[in-house]
Chains A and B, each alone.
Chain A
Amino acid sequence: MKQDRSTTIVSLAGIGLAFLALWLLHAFGGYYIERIVIGVGINLILVISLNLANGFTGLFSLGHIGFMAIGAYASAILTLPLSLKSTNLPDLPSFLARTQMAFLPAVLIGGLIAMLVAFLIGLSLMRLTGPYISVATMGFLVIVQVVLTNWDSMTRGARTFAGVPEYTNVWNVWIWAMLVLYIVWRIKFSSFGRKMMAARDNEIAARSLGINVVASRLLAFCLSAFFTGVAGALWAHFITAFSPKSFYFSQTFSVVTMLVVGGLGSLSGSVVGVMLITLLSEILRNAERGFAIGPLVIPEVYGASQVIMAILFVLFIVFRPRGLLGDAELDVRKFFKREKEVAG
């Protein structure tokens, strides 16, 4: 909780190292590696913002991918080239049909719309607790899905929404990811974060201190929806073609796995979770094409990676339900301090 110069130096050094690593990957990694690095950056934003809602307040939302979809479609519609709009989305309202926005404002608007929706549903949902909130937010995910598949004039319905300009690159994704990590980190160690976690640990005690539980949950939910919307927009400009099905249970499951493996409430845990799961799923995805170790030949088993990931998730829930880090943070200073104590 102490804020001193060493923390700033350590975090600046960390950010510097991260960008150096990004530059190296960018310069020497090739196309495949670059795609993974961008994917990791987007997943970081998704998991950290989910942690802000689920980890800090303890209300386990299963509907966040709905906010991702809102951000993605909003930004895609706003930036689609005018020529494509007239052919692909002929029934757009005229003010949308005539505008083609730049990348940054479109991403921000995508996030803001997601936040507005979160505020409206949060007013009532944030009064729920436990499994009820999970079921209710999952209902929200289904509603978003149904709206997307039926709002033909805006989304092309269930058909693929293609031709989104490819604006996303390693740099803008990772600047966003670092920004989100920094903001959520600051919230965790401020009165706002303490209110959220107090209400999570004991709602009755929190109220007896004068904490407005619904308001602090709503703050977490709305900010989280904003960042999730931003991640959705970045993803839309990364993948460039998607359909409503891209934002459903399998995406929800992937993000929730990363969060739970890392540890609810721990931001460094989220980073570890995203890296670990991405790495593992890439290795497994390549392995399911079949490979040979000396004389032993493993045939191709498509879908095996998903099964293994699911089994891994179950094992985590059984043996380490609080994730790798619980809600503690990796502390570089503590590591150095211990070294010093040993030396002295």
Chain B
Amino acid sequence: MPTATTQTNHVLLEVKNLSKSFRGLMAVQNYHVRLVEGEILGIIGPNGAGKSTVFNLFTGHLRPTDGSIEFRNIDITNAPPEEIASLGIGRTFQNIRLFGSMSCLGNVIAALQMKERQNLLEAVLNLSRFREQEKRLESQALALLALFNLQEQVNAPALSLSYGDQRRLEIVRALALNPRLLLLDEPTAGMNPHESAEVIRLIKRIHDDYTLTIIIIEHNMPLVMKVCSRIQVLNYGEIIAEGTPEKVRNDPRVIESYLGRAG
């Protein structure tokens, strides 16, 4: 079971009144969330409800039209993606974005190396400090890849991986940043039931092992119900329901937006 009971109730992410419009079309309207450390939040909703837009606003890939985002009490509303990443938000993408020509190992090391500094001169002269650093990065990357059962493919180019493996590699890469908050955009999309069950197990495990706070966007309802302590339902860019899985499941507005008006 998740050790969510031991959390210290620190607010990690505070989003108020967040809106984004694309040429007048409101993609996200008045979105808000207060995320406590250690929580797993699920965001669900039909296609085009603005779920991925919310992630892109959190990570600075899009700039909000209105509202504010605070992460660890730092205002990141208009910060660029690089800065937000270095503050500790790691993410995956709905349409997988790997470094295709690089090996799995290279993909993970590219993320791991961000918390270390290398000196160009040391690298060029191949000094022992640089060599040790490279060795350490490699062994850390191998351990992370093994955790997600990718140890067989470490030297394969990322693009040659199967779809499910690519999704898992992207999670490993995000995890390699050692983030405080992990944003997973449809982590089980395109996977068979067996693979998704495995990924659910891994998400739970990294949540416990790394004391991570996680937000998951998913279409896979059983997954969301199983993993998340709290769920937000978006439709047309607005939160239409929020609460525990049981509460959300029985909410008439949710049923309506997913199944259509009954009668």
Contacts and interface: CB of A to CB of B under 8 A. Distances in A.
Contacts of A187: 120, 123-124
Contacts of B131: 3
A191 B123 contact: yes
B31 to A, nearest CB: 20
A189 B106 CA distance: 10
A191 B102 contact: no
A192 B93 contact: no
Contacts of A30: none
Contact of B111 (A189, A190, A209): A209
Contacts of B107: 198
Contact of A210 (B82, B106, B125, B173): B82
Interface residues of B, number: 39
A24 interface: no
A209 B173 contact: yes
Interface in B84-128: 85-86, 90-91, 93, 97-102, 105-107, 109-111, 113-114, 116, 118, 120, 123-126
A187 B121 CA distance: 10
A3 B99 contact: no
Interface string B29-54: 00000000000000000000000000
Given A207-B82, A210-B114, A212-B82, A192 B123 contact: yes
Residue of A197, A207, A327 with highest tally of chain B CB at under 10 A: A207
B130 A190 contact: yes
A208 B173 CA distance: 11
Contact of A204 (B97, B102, B105): B97
A198 B110 contact: yes
A12 interface: no
Contact of B102 (A3, A201, A211, A212): A201
Nearest to A195: B110
B99 A201 contact: yes
Contacts of A2: 138
Interface string A91-105: 000000000000000
A129 to B, nearest CB: 15
Residue of A2, A190, A191, A202 with highest tally of chain B CB at under 10 A: A191
Nearest to A204: B97
Contacts of B97: 202, 204-205, 208
A191 B93 CA distance: 23
A190 B118 contact: yes
A205 B102 contact: no
Contact of B118 (A191, A209, A326): A191
Contacts of B138: 1-2
Contacts of B190: none
A1 B82 CA distance: 26
A190 B85 contact: no
B99 A205 contact: yes
A194 interface: yes
A194 B118 CA distance: 12
15 contacts: A1-B105, A183-B124, A187-B123, A187-B124, A190-B120, A190-B123, A192-B118, A198-B99, A201-B98, A205-B97, A205-B98, A207-B85, A208-B90, A209-B177, A211-B114
Interface of B: 59, 61, 80-83, 85-86, 90-91, 93, 97-102, 105-107, 109-111, 113-114, 116, 118, 120, 123-126, 130-131, 134-135, 138, 173, 177
